Structure formats: C-alpha cells, structure tokens
Chains A and B, each alone.
Chain A
Amino acid sequence: MNSIILQIAARYLKWILIVFAVLALLRGHNHPGGGFIGGLMAGLAIVYRSFAYNAFQIKEELKDRPERYIALGLSVILLSFVPSLIKNATLMTGLWFTIPLPFNEELKLGTPFLFDIGVFFTVIGVTLMFVFSLTQKSQP
C-alpha cells in the first residue's frame, strides 16, 4: 500500500498520538490513564506510520528498536524497586517526594510514577514487536 494521503496524515497524527500518550501517562496515577494505555497509544503512533509507509521499510529504519524499548522499560521498572529495597521497606512500597514549584504549585514524584514510565516503554516495545512479527514472512 502506498497512499500519499495516509502518509501525510500519519506524519501529523503521530505527534498528536504521542502528545496524548504522554498526557495519559502523566495523569495516570489518580485518574484514568497510566503507563499501559499511554504506551499503547504511543506504540500505535509508530505502528500507524509503519502501515502508511511499509512495515518492512520501517523495520529497517528501526533496526532492533522494539527490543531496546523493552529493555529500557524493564530497566526503569527494576529501578523503581531499588528505593524500597534501600529504605528497607517491603518490596515495591510507594515512596513519594514533592518538588516545590513557583506559584504555590508542587510536583509530586514517586516510585509508582517511575514504574509507570517503565510500563510505558515496555508496552511500546511489545506493541511494535507484535506488529512487526505479524508482518514478517515465514521461512520454509
């Protein structure tokens, strides 16, 4: 398939999807959303592009990308366990700290958020891997 309309659309839709993916990731802790949904959306952005162009071509461009996304995501997840082990709390205990921002705002960051980021990248990698595997030809 080689459609100009689809290709141009994919170029812009990609960024919209990624912005919404990050938005979903950020509001995830207390509202609907989170790493999984965000990851699916960001993964779809890339998948959509690969459909518009040609999955094989994109795979050449990306080289080993899916695995790298997964490796990054899983490492971040592992990293989110470390603070609870250092503080000698039960594994995976959520630890939070706040950063004061100007205008009386504050930013709350914690290990669950780190975990979510890890999930985000892992899901991107897994989505890509599934789609690329399905578009591959089988060997005799």
Chain B
Amino acid sequence: MSLIAFPILFPFILIIILLIFRSDRLSRWFGPIGTGLLAMLSVYLLVLVREHGVIALQMGGWEAPFGITLVIDYFSALMLVVSSIITFVVAIYALYFLTARIRLNRFFIFFFGLIMGMNGSFITGDVFNLFVWFEVMLMSSFVLITLGRTKDQLEGGIKYLALNLIGSLFLLAGVGLLYGKTGTLNMAHLAQILTTDDQAILMNTSAVLFFVAFGIKAAVFPLYFWLPASYHTPDVTITSLFAGLLTKVGVYTFFRFFTLFFVHDPQFWHQLILVIAGFTMVAGGMAAAAHYETRRILSYHIISQIGYMIMGLGIFTPLAVAGAIFFTLHNMLAKTNTFLVSGMINKVRGTYLLKNIGGLYKEYPLMAILFIIPAFALAGVPPVSGFFAKFILIKAGIENGNYGITAVAVLTGLLTLYSMLKIWNEAFLKVQPHNEFEKNTIQKLSFMEYLPSVILGAASILMGVFAYYVFDFTMEAANQLLDTELYIKTVLKGYQ
C-alpha cells in the first residue's frame, strides 16, 4: 500500500533528477514521460479505490490520529486522474509553446513541484499536512509566474504571492484554533469528534477562518482579486496549467472540509455558500463580458465557473455534490483547453488582443474546431461535457427548492455563452484587420502543436458522450463524501 504515497514521491524523485542533470534535452523527455507515468498511476489508484472503497496509508507506521495519514477516496482519485491528464497535456504543450527565454529544465522542476503540492493536497488526511502542501504549491506557482522575469510578471507574481500568503495565514490560524479546541488535526478523527459532539457549534470560529482561506485559494466572490491580477502575465503554458489546477485544489478542500467535519451548522453555512456562489458566478461572468483580451476574458471566466462548483456544495444533496464534482472535472479539462487555444492564437498572430485578431477560421480551421469544443463545453451545449454538468446541478437545485441560485446559474450560462461567442466572432469569424499582426511568420502549426488541445477536446467529448459512466463515478464520490462512515473507519480503524 506504499503506492498511495507515490503521487507525491514520484514528482519528488523527478525533481531531484532534474536538479542533478540540468540539461534541457533530457528535460524534454522527462516532462511528458513523467506526467504520463503519473497519469497511469492515478488511474491504477482509481481502480484500487473501486475495489476497496477508501484506501489509507499511515506514514511512518504511526497509527492515526497520531501520525500523518494519506487517504484516497473516490473524490481524491478522480481529481488525481483528471489533474494528471492535464499535467500530461501541458507538459507536451510546454515543449512547443514555452518562450525560448525560459529554460525547459527550470520550468519542469517547478512544474513537478506544483504537481507534488497538488497531489499532496488531494491525498492528505491531515489538516496541517494540507497546509504544508498548499505552501509547496504556492511557492512553485509563484516561481512559475515569474519565470519569464519580465516586469509585469514580477508585478503579477508579487500580487499573487502576497494575497495568497494572507490566505495561508488564515488557514494557519484556523488550524491553530482547531487544534486548540479538539486536540487533533487528523481529518477523520475531527469528523468523529465534531459529528458526535453537541458543542460543535463552537467550531464556527475556525470554520470561518478556513472558509476565508479556501475562498482565497478557490477565488470565490469577494476574495478573487489575486486571480485577474496575475493570470494574464505568465507564459500561456503556465497560465493554462494554473487555470486547470490551482483554484480547483481550493474547491477540493472546500468539499473535503465542509462535507467531512464542518457539518454542524448547515442552515448558516449552506446559505452563505449559496449566496457566495451566486455572486461569484455573476461577478466573474460580468467581468469576462467586459474584457477584450483572451487571457483576461478566460481568467475572469475561471472565477465565474468556480461559482457552479461551490453551488453544488451549498445545495448539499447527493445529486448536487455529484453534479459539482462532475462540473469540476469537466471544467478542469475545458478551461485548460481554451487557454491552450489562446496560446495557439498568440503564436500565429503574436497578440492576445481581440481587436487585432481575425480571420482565423479561414486560415486555421482545425484551430477553430479545437476552440469550439471547449467553448461549447463551458457554455453547456450538448453533447459536450458541460451540458450534463450544468444539467445535473440545475436539476439538483430545482429538486431541493433552491430556485434563486438555479436561476442565477441558468442566466450566468448566457453570460458564458456571450463571452465565448465574443472570442469566436472576433478571433475566428471577423476579417483580419490591417495591422502589424496581419503578416505572421508561422504559417502552419505542426501536428504536435495541436495534439495537447486535441487530447483535451477528445476528453471533453468523451466525457459528454459517456456522461452516464462518469456520472456513476461522481455519484459514488458524492455518496462517499456525504456518508463519512467508511472514511472514518478506514483511517481510524476503530480508534475512539
């Protein structure tokens, strides 16, 4: 069962190898192969979870709740699988799209650092350990943002770091309070204590600190400012990596904490989460509609979509949680893909500003198709994945009587469609305006340059076509999240 630690250990080994052999030629191979192996490992872990339910590893032989436990349930396994697909794709993309000034070796070191932090957050069963993985992720992503060493990247990077450190501070304060009150930081043990104790209402102080911390990480409504301030600055490869992964880790922890042990005051918390979800959707959608730079549009758009995921948590029925997980998985794939395409547009035209671009549909029909797939997925057009994700969420909202948020979700879908159509009309349909971007140097993109986007597009379509099977998985995940008995039993093994 030591295999459970390998999503963390394997990137760690790769980092060491990359640090020792600092050649770019070697790194070219290590990136895609390493992430490919990680993807296979993740799939195998998902198979293991399917066989055993929940799997756990007590690190160093210290039994829970005294040691650090690594736990994988359906939700973590699904997140591992989808995120490893994204990292695999981005690793290929980086070979062709990373600015020549950034050394591949350096990029891949921090790329794997980010993966290590992310996988750690997905599989840890300990609150303090989670904080540590967040920091690993934060540091790697800060370096990744500033890798190009331009002025605006430093500016964006420092804003990103400062605002996220405030988030980490809240998280640490929350951890401290939680430990002071319960005397444990093992998630399963916390769940055991807090679900049976009638004084659990006292946990609201730490719950609100965690709420703010994860709110910053996941970029929900009043706390999202770091995201639009930084996401348009780094190299597009790095932005696409962040778009698919960073905020989703925040969403993951939201789900983990507010289903496993912060379940003491549902009226208040779920109401709050629903209100915030609504505002997040609308604020992100409106801001996306107002911008005319592809990366900025897509960045605001990330925020808008976070609202849908949180909405599922606010409704808090098994169907809603399953829908939210489905939505998260679909969004990770589609969102990354749109950024990949915006990188291609930049490569052939040399700009991200929509007013300078046009006529791409005629010149690059394949690119147009590759854009329309994730765009339709995000807007929720059948038969691509997004339709089913939204359908499940809205159905759950109506069934549970949350009409307000459901209406907001449906209307935000129009905003999404609008901003996607904006990119489509401006970049692909409009005639190319006469300017210095008209004559590009690269006339054709090679197959390998299209491949990452093709893979993600295919994944989005398959997720829509086989929505039934994917939904089965997410439903299982939701049941495990809401019925915590198996999780607690696997980790604590009967410890009282």
Residues of A near any B CB (own CB < 8 A): 64, 67-68, 70-71, 74-75, 78, 81, 84-85, 89-94, 136, 138-140
Q: Does B151 contact A (CB under 8 A)?
A: yes
Query: Do B12 and A138 touch (CB < 8 A)?
Result: no
Asked whether A94 and B19 contact (CB < 8 A) given A138-B150, A138-B151, A138-B154, the answer is no
Closest residue to A126 on the B side, CB-wise?
A: B139
Contact of B19 among A70, A89, A140 (CB under 8 A): A70
Query: Do A89 and B61 touch (CB < 8 A)?
Result: yes
Q: Does B277 contact A (CB under 8 A)?
A: no
The smallest C-beta distance from B412 to any residue of chain A, in angstroms, reads 38
Residues on the A chain within 8 Å of B22, using CB: 64, 67
Query: Do B60 and A91 touch (CB < 8 A)?
Result: yes
Query: Do B150 and A90 touch (CB < 8 A)?
Result: no
Query: Do B2 and A140 touch (CB < 8 A)?
Result: no
Q: Does B355 contact A (CB under 8 A)?
A: no
The smallest C-beta distance from B454 to any residue of chain A, in angstroms, reads 34
Residues on the A chain within 8 Å of B64, using CB: none
Q: Which of A64, A75, A138 has the most CB of B within 10 A?
A: A138
Query: Do A85 and B2 touch (CB < 8 A)?
Result: yes
Residues on the B chain within 8 Å of A138, using CB: 149-151, 154
Give 7 A-B pairs besides A136-B149, A140-B151 with Cβ atoms closer than 8 angstroms.
A74-B16, A81-B9, A91-B5, A91-B57, A93-B61, A94-B60, A138-B154
CA distance A136 to B13 in the complex (A): 29
Determine the main DSSP class of B at the interface with A: helix
CA distance A84 to B61 in the complex (A): 10
Query: Do A75 and B20 touch (CB < 8 A)?
Result: yes
Asked whether A140 and B58 contact (CB < 8 A) given A67-B22, A78-B13, the answer is no
Residues on the B chain within 8 Å of A90, using CB: 2, 57-61
Contact of A139 among B15, B57, B58, B150 (CB under 8 A): B150
Closest residue to B59 on the A side, CB-wise?
A: A92
Closest residue to A81 on the B side, CB-wise?
A: B9
CA distance A78 to B15 in the complex (A): 11
Closest residue to A137 on the B side, CB-wise?
A: B149
Contact of A67 among B9, B19, B61 (CB under 8 A): B19
Contacts of B54-89 to chain A: CB distance below 8 A? 57-61
Chain A to chain B contacts (Cβ below 8 Å), 10 pairs: A74-B19, A75-B16, A84-B60, A90-B57, A90-B59, A90-B60, A91-B60, A93-B60, A138-B151, A139-B149
Residues on the B chain within 8 Å of A85, using CB: 2
Residues on the A chain within 8 Å of B16, using CB: 71, 74-75, 78
The smallest C-beta distance from B6 to any residue of chain A, in angstroms, reads 9
Query: Do B20 and A71 touch (CB < 8 A)?
Result: yes
Closest residue to A85 on the B side, CB-wise?
A: B2
The smallest C-beta distance from A127 to any residue of chain B, in angstroms, reads 13
Residues on the A chain within 8 Å of B15, using CB: 74
Query: Do A91 and B2 touch (CB < 8 A)?
Result: yes
CA distance A48 to B118 in the complex (A): 34
CA distance A136 to B151 in the complex (A): 12
Closest residue to A89 on the B side, CB-wise?
A: B61
Task: Encode contact with A along B1-45: 1 for CB under 8 Å, 0 otherwise.
Answer: 010010001001101100110100000000000000000000000
Q: Which of B9, B19, B22 has the most CB of A within 10 A?
A: B19
Residues on the A chain within 8 Å of B9, using CB: 81, 91
CA distance A84 to B58 in the complex (A): 13
Residues on the A chain within 8 Å of B150, using CB: 138-140
CA distance A94 to B15 in the complex (A): 24
CA distance A67 to B60 in the complex (A): 28
CA distance A91 to B57 in the complex (A): 9
Going nearest first, the 8 A-B pairs with the smallest beta carbon separation are A71-B19, A92-B60, A93-B61, A90-B61, A74-B16, A91-B2, A139-B149, A91-B5
Closest residue to B153 on the A side, CB-wise?
A: A138
Closest residue to A90 on the B side, CB-wise?
A: B61
Q: Which of A85, A91, A139 has the most CB of B within 10 A?
A: A91
CA distance A85 to B13 in the complex (A): 15
Closest residue to A69 on the B side, CB-wise?
A: B19
CA distance A68 to B21 in the complex (A): 11
CA distance A140 to B150 in the complex (A): 6
Residues on the B chain within 8 Å of A71, using CB: 16, 19-20
CA distance A132 to B154 in the complex (A): 15
The smallest C-beta distance from B419 to any residue of chain A, in angstroms, reads 32
Closest residue to A74 on the B side, CB-wise?
A: B16
CA distance A84 to B19 in the complex (A): 24
CA distance A75 to B151 in the complex (A): 34
The smallest C-beta distance from A111 to any residue of chain B, in angstroms, reads 9
The smallest C-beta distance from A88 to any residue of chain B, in angstroms, reads 9
